[in-house]
Structure 1
Amino acid sequence: MPWKPKGKSKWIIGLVALAILAFIGFKYWKGKKSALPEGIVSGNGRIESKLADVSAKEPLRVREVLVNEGDLVKPGQVLVRLDTTTLEASLAEANANLAATQEKLAVAEAGIVKQKSEIELATIEAERARRLVAQGAGSQRDVDVRTSQLETTRASLAEAEATLKTSREEIEVARANAATIQTRIADATLKSPVTGRVLYRLAEPGEVLSPGGPALTLVNLEDVFMEIFLPASEAARVKIGSEARLTVDFEPDRSIPGYVSFVSPEAQFTPKQVETKSEREKLVFRLKLQVPRELASRYVERIKTGIRGVGYVKVDPDAAWPSRLQNVVTAESEPH
């Protein structure tokens, strides 16, 4: 005789069936909700930012490091001071050399003034001697002496003018040398080139940095982007400047506006971050979704690189963003 469920068993079976139907319905509803409209594509990615090294131009000893890892820094903020004792000694020597050269120039200028006066006097005396000879009141020997003195004085003037020119050139060289050393001293004060956060502190006081050796690595918080990977069929429809949206996993109900700033000209294998083997086997194109600088500047206190999320791109400019991507973060909205 076939088994027939009793009343209580019927209720249990009915509840299980209802639960299964509800689960299937929920999955279907969630799938429909997450489905993107035609003309919009998406890819997984993470928030990234460019890095900037704060480096020494020449080998100098670190005197003090003024920031720690995690500190927020602004453009022009002093981050590291290097020891400039030897450079300051060289600058003092260069300034002394400049002063000596300027004094030499002053002597040369005074000598020229003197030589010009002597030439005027010698010219007058030579002319007077010629008139006396013409009048029969003087000797030719006196004329020859006066003429010789005039020529000698003119030669001395030419020599003084050459010395003056040399002194001026030496002053320019000495001034350039002093300015160069002053610039080297200024370069020994390392400043932040960007608004960012200290990622790595790579040097400590007392260490000697090599030329180009980094003392700090900064995360540029005004150059924020997300890289996603799209198959060729979708990437081919993307244009530079296309409108984009970015979401992060910890706050999926808010989206960040952006735009496509780069589309790779070459295909590549999907990077290892993609978990599914079938996805890794596909060739894709890398896209860079840039966050506007003014928006990134507004939220520098909250930006954290490495956070995973999803990037969305309009391949059809007329496509409408779904409602879940319309709660957009703006530069005017209050950070929270």
Structure 2
Amino acid sequence: MKLYFLLFAGILFLLSCSRKEQKVDAYGNFETTETTISAQESGLLLAFNVHEGDSLIAGDTVGYIDTLQLYLKKEQLDAQIASLRTQLPDASVQLQVISQELSHAKEEQTRTENLLADNAATPQQRDDMNAQVALLQKKYASLQSSLSIQSRSILSQIKPMEIQIKQINDQIARSIIVNPLKGVVLLKLAEPNEMVTYGKPLYQIGNLSQMILRAYLTGEQLSQVKIGQTVTILTDEPDNKDRQWKGKITWISDESEFTPKQIQTKDERSNLVYAIKISVKNDGTIKIGMPGEVVFR
């Protein structure tokens, strides 16, 4: 009886394995898109509140780099600009004096013309007034041009400083470490109070809610798949059971490669395979590196 039971169990096991071999079309491992977040400025990392396994959203402030020297440089430029602005001429006040003289001279010019018409003034007096008006007009134009040149010279010194302040403001903004995308921290690469340089990796983040199964097909299987196709993914469960997931093919390689060592394809005798990527929505069960099996139909 015991021998019969063992024989029956063995047959069921072999049948189960046979069914599984028939239905599985491809094998692969899960991965995710990993993004490395790097420092955008150089300096002392004063604060860095990131830990592996943390869930972050886009816009989270996770740390900042020392900006003291930037603030001091900005204050110095502000002071220099304020000093230069005090040197700008008050054109309206200086021109107003000559403008009043010119207005009075024109009134006298008109009065002289009227007197000359009544034979109460001489042509010489008229010519003198005309000359005086012309002289004042030239003085006004000359002063206006001089003040304009002086103002432009000072403003030309201020403009580069204002641009420097904008650059410093940008550097200060980039010294604040802001997480750019939603995901889970996979790897922490820096610690508070470390000196960091521009481009130094600080941490890696990945979106674990949407996993990618990279699987491999033989050349004969390529005709069975297309981008956008929905397939079934199987992952291992306790007690030799499988869990099914729905996935969508998002990428098919157009070049063959040698079979990766960790992958077993349907046709184990094939030396060359084609990689495909399948997007799978994850509830937290699927882990990076976890194996998966693909069923096309």
**CA offset digits 1:115-169 (Å, max 9, x no partner):** 2663364255156347637541727455434422321211211233344455566
Name structure 1 gaps, 5 residues minimum.
1-10, 314-318, 320-336
Residue 179 of structure 2 corresponds to residue 192 of structure 1: yes
User: 1:326: which partner in 2?
Assistant: none
Question: Is 1:178 the equivalent of 2:165?
Answer: yes
Aligned match of 2:73: 90
Match of 2:252 in 1: 263
Asked whether 1:282 is paired with 2:271, we answer yes
The change in CA–CA distance for 1:201 and 1:280 in structure 2 (over 3 A counts) is farther
- Alignment of 1:76 onto 2:59: yes
Deviation at 1:89, TM superposition (A): 1.0
**Paired residue type of 2:108:** R
- Aligned partners of 1:257 and 1:89: how far apart in 2? 57
**Structure 2 match to 1:24:** 11
Consecutive unaligned residues in structure 2, runs of 5 or more:
none
Letter in 2 for 1:185: I
TM-score, normalization: structure 1?
A: 0.72
CA distance 1:100–1:237, change in 2 (3 Å): farther
SS of residue matched to 1:204 = coil
Contact 1:112–1:157 under 8 Å retained in 2: no
User: Relative contact order: is structure 1 or structure 2 higher (C-alpha 8 Å, sep ≥ 6)?
Assistant: 2
Aligned twin of 1:153: 140
SS in 1 for 2:228: coil
Q: Which residue of 2 aligns with 1:8?
A: none
The CA distance in 1 between the partners of 2:232 and 2:86, in whole Å, is 69
* Mapping for residues 103-142 of structure 1, pairs under 5 Å: 103=86, 107-108=88-89, 110-112=90-92, 114-115=94-95, 118-119=98-99, 121-122=101-102, 124-126=104-106, 128-129=108-109, 132=112, 135-136=121-122, 138=125, 140-141=127-128
Closer/same/farther in 2, CA of residues 177 and 263 from structure 1, 3 Å limit: same
The verdict on how the C-alpha distance between 1:310 and 1:77 changes in structure 2, with shifts beyond 3 A counting, is same
Q: Provide the alpha-carbon RMSD of the alignment.
A: 3.2
Deviation at 1:210, TM superposition (A): 2.1
Native 8 Å contact 2:236 2:243 kept in 1: no
Equivalent pairs counted in the alignment come to 287
Aligned to 1:197, the other structure's residue is in SS state strand
For 1:327, the equivalent position in structure 2 comes to none
Percent of matched pairs sharing the same residue: 23
2: CA distance between counterparts of 1:98 and 1:248? 67
- Shift of the alpha carbon at 1:263? 0.5
Q: TM-score, normalised by structure 2?
A: 0.81
- Please say if residues 108 and 129 of structure 2, whose CA atoms lie closer than 8 Å, have aligned partners that are also in contact: no
Q: 1:302 to 1:126 in 2, by over 3 A?
A: farther
